[in-house]
A and B are shown apart, each in its own frame.
Chain A
Amino acid sequence: AQSVAQPEDQVNVAEGNPLTVKCTYSVSGNPYLFWYVQYPNRGLQFLLKYITGDNLVKGSYGFEAEFNKSQTSFHLKKPSALVSDSALYFCAVRDRTAGFQKLVFGTGTRLLVSP
């Protein structure tokens, strides 16, 4: 079965410092990986995806993610955190064994950026 794991329930970082939110995956075949962010009482906002190509993927709001096949990881990063980045972050993989559009999500990591 396709799955992703987010090992940290919460990540705390000071504003201006770099941030990393971790994600590891377990898939058969080549993975289609995604990062989404959720603000309180809102839906999920797409940040970035990896389908193929460069291992460093750049996304919205200054976020980027590094795909590492040997470590089966897809960590989300940002060079300088903002207080407004505080939110819930989800890593997801497309479940290609189920076909089409089924996404399998991790449990989420709450990012707290302090002023």
Chain B
Amino acid sequence: KAGVTQTPRYLIKTRGQQVTLSCSPISGHRSVSWYQQTPGQGLQFLFEYFSETQRNKGNFPGRFSGRQFSNSRSEMNVSTLELGDSALYLCASSPGEVETQYFGPGTRLLVL
């Protein structure tokens, strides 16, 4: 099976802009989670979607949002970008609730 894919792999934006990141899970996986990785804060949970419903959300401002489509593909959006949003954004998919999460290669976002 193909692994988790994320697009784009690299992105450069300026402050105030918005950005949309995409994640395609492993075929058959219905759960998609998003994480932010930064040198200062490490890996932090953003949110998780299952069957198009957001089931859990981390401690991030409302500028961070996401959605999941009927084919389990997911997008996350960050509006009004700040310098501190520069990070590696990782998507992970899982077949269900208690299964292992498998991660994609990430999207590296740089905000100037």
Q: Which residues of A contact B (CB under 8 A)?
A: 32, 34, 36, 41-46, 49, 51, 90, 92, 94-95, 98-108
A101 and B42 contacting across the interface, CB-CB below 8 Å: no
- Cα–Cα distance between A49 and B55 once the two chains are bound (Å): 23
Within B56-112, which residues are at the interface with A (CB < 8 Å)?
Answer: 56, 58, 90, 92, 94, 97-98, 100-106, 108
Contact of B101 among A51, A103, A104 (CB under 8 A): A103
Measured between C-beta atoms, what is the minimum distance from B101 to chain A in Å? 6
Contact of B45 among A43, A46, A104 (CB under 8 A): A104
Measured between C-beta atoms, what is the minimum distance from A83 to chain B in Å? 23
- Cα–Cα distance between A45 and B92 once the two chains are bound (Å): 10
Q: Which 5 A-B pairs have the closest CB atoms?
A: A105-B43, A43-B103, A44-B103, A43-B105, A101-B48
Q: Count of A-B contacts with CB under 8 A? A: 65
CB contacts (< 8 Å) of B100 on chain A: these are 34, 46, 49
B31 CB-CB contact with A under 8 Å: yes
CB contacts (< 8 Å) of A101 on chain B: these are 31, 33, 48, 50, 55-56, 92, 94, 97, 101
CB contacts (< 8 Å) of A94 on chain B: these are 98
- Cα–Cα distance between A45 and B106 once the two chains are bound (Å): 12
B48 and A100 contacting across the interface, CB-CB below 8 Å: yes
Of listed B33, B35, B101, residue having the most chain A CB within 10 A: B101
A102 and B58 contacting across the interface, CB-CB below 8 Å: yes
- Cα–Cα distance between A92 and B6 once the two chains are bound (Å): 22
A98 and B56 contacting across the interface, CB-CB below 8 Å: yes
B45 and A102 contacting across the interface, CB-CB below 8 Å: yes
A43 and B42 contacting across the interface, CB-CB below 8 Å: no
* CB contact under 8 A between A107 and B42, given known A98-B56, A100-B48: yes
* CB contact under 8 A between A46 and B102, given known A98-B56, A102-B56: yes
Measured between C-beta atoms, what is the minimum distance from A101 to chain B in Å? 5
A100 and B56 contacting across the interface, CB-CB below 8 Å: yes
- Cα–Cα distance between A43 and B36 once the two chains are bound (Å): 11
10 extra interchain contacts, Cβ-Cβ under 8 A, other than A46-B100, A100-B56, A101-B31? A44-B90, A46-B101, A99-B56, A100-B31, A101-B55, A101-B101, A102-B33, A103-B35, A106-B42, A108-B43
